[in-house]
Every structure is written in structure tokens, then in C-alpha cells.
Chains A and B, each alone.
Chain A
Amino acid sequence: DAEITQSPRHKITETGRQVTLACHQTWNHNNMFWYRQDLGHGLRLIHYSYGVQDTNKGEVSDGYSVSRSNTEDLPLTLESAASSQTSVYFCASSESNGPGDTQYFGPGTRLTVL
């Protein structure tokens, strides 16, 4: 079955280190998204991509970057991890650009920055 996976599922790192979270989907979806989930905030959009070589900033993009070199993957990089980036990160994908299209979510990565 087609799916969306994230790795690692748990990560502990130190302040100042570069961290990359992987997201891989096998649906061949054009659109991919990264969210972070924090208590009291729900999920907030970090970056999104509507296709290969396309990336866009979301609501909380400072300190994060993404690149899209193929359809299946959208890795999220924290250039210099900060304690404020301790969170649960979710990747999602969708087939089309329509505002009502369903986004399918991965299982999440719990990141702790010490």
C-alpha cells in the first residue's frame, strides 16, 4: 500500500547542531507539507512544496529549510537547532492543489533539543 513515512521517529540533539528530518511518500503526490505540533498551538505550517524544485515558507519557517529534488521526498533541516524547536513534527502530502484536497499525514517525529 502507498504510504507516507517519517524518520527518525524520535531524535534527541544538542543546541546548535544541524538536524535533518526525513519524509518519504509513495503516492506520487505533488504536494508535501511540514507542520510542527505544540501544546496550545495545534499544528502550524513550517514549509510546503507544490512540486519538484518548488518550496514555500509557511507560518513558522524561521530556522527551518526544505528542498525538493524528487517527488517522493521533502527533508526538513534545522540549520542550528534551538530549544524552542523541541516539538513533534508531521509531514503530509496531497495529490492536487485544490483547497479541499485531503492531506495525508505521516506518523510524526518527536524532536528534543537539549
Chain B
Amino acid sequence: AQSVTQPDIHITVSEGASLELRCNYSYGATPYLFWYVQSPGQGLQLLLKYFSGDTLVQGIKGFEAEFKRSQSSFNLRKPSVHWSDAAEYFCAVVLNTGFQKLVFGTGTRLLVSP
């Protein structure tokens, strides 16, 4: 079955340290890939997305993600985490079928320690 896996339920990072959140997908072809962030009590906000081309994608708030076809991964990174980055992060995919059905991973909750 098609799926998106975020293996880390929780991650704690010190403020100022680097961050990497993992995302793997299981589809035959390269899907459209997204990272969303959900701050407490809020809806989801798009951080970045990848369709094709350069495999390193820049997003908002200083985030970037790298698509690795050989590993079926689309990991999210940030070089220096700020306390305001504490939130839940969701990886999502849309198959290249022409239909806009987002399939979400189960999310990773980021905690930022002082």
C-alpha cells in the first residue's frame, strides 16, 4: 500500500542546534512531496514542496528539504533551530495522477530546549 513514514514521533533539539526530520515514502514513481508545519492550536502551513528539478528545495522560515530518489526520502532540515520552531511537522505526498489527494505521514513533534 502507498504510505508515508515519519519514523520519529518526537524530537528534542537545543536552540541553535541543527535539525533534520525524516520522511520516507513508498510509491513506484516520484510523487509530489510537501512539508507542512502545525503550531499548537493552529492549522497547517506549507513550508516547502518538491515536484522535480533541483533536489534541494528551499522553503519559508529557513527550512530546506532534500529529495533522494535512491532512498525514497524527503528529509527536512534547518541549520539553526529557534524556540518558535517548536511545532508538529508533517510530510505529505500527492501522486502524479492529476488528482490532489494529499497523503500525510503521522507527524513529528519538535521540542526545542533552551
Contact = CB atoms under 8 A, between A and B. Distances in A.
Interface of A: 4, 31, 33, 35, 40-45, 48, 58, 90, 92, 94, 97-108
Contacts of A105: 36, 43-45
Contact of A90 (B44, B46, B96, B101): B44
Nearest to B106: A42
A105 B100 CA distance: 14
Contact of A99 (B36, B98, B105, B106): B98
B49 A102 contact: yes
Contacts of B25: none
A44 B106 CA distance: 10
Contacts of A90: 43-44
A44 B97 contact: no
A43 B94 contact: no
Interface string B36-52: 10000111111001010
Contacts of B100: 31, 48, 94, 97-99, 101, 103
Contacts of B4: 42
B63 interface: no
Interface residues of B, number: 26
Contacts of A58: 101
Given A42-B90, A103-B100, A108 B51 contact: no
Q: Most B CB atoms within 10 A — which of A42, A102, A108?
A: A42
Contact of B46 (A31, A33, A102): A102
A100 B106 contact: no
A43 B41 CA distance: 15
A99 B42 contact: no
A42 B105 contact: yes
B106 A41 contact: yes
A32 B97 CA distance: 18
Contacts of B90: 42-43
Instruction: Across the A-B interface, give the 4 residue pairs with the lowest CB-CB distance, nearest first.
Output: A105-B43, A42-B104, A105-B44, A99-B94
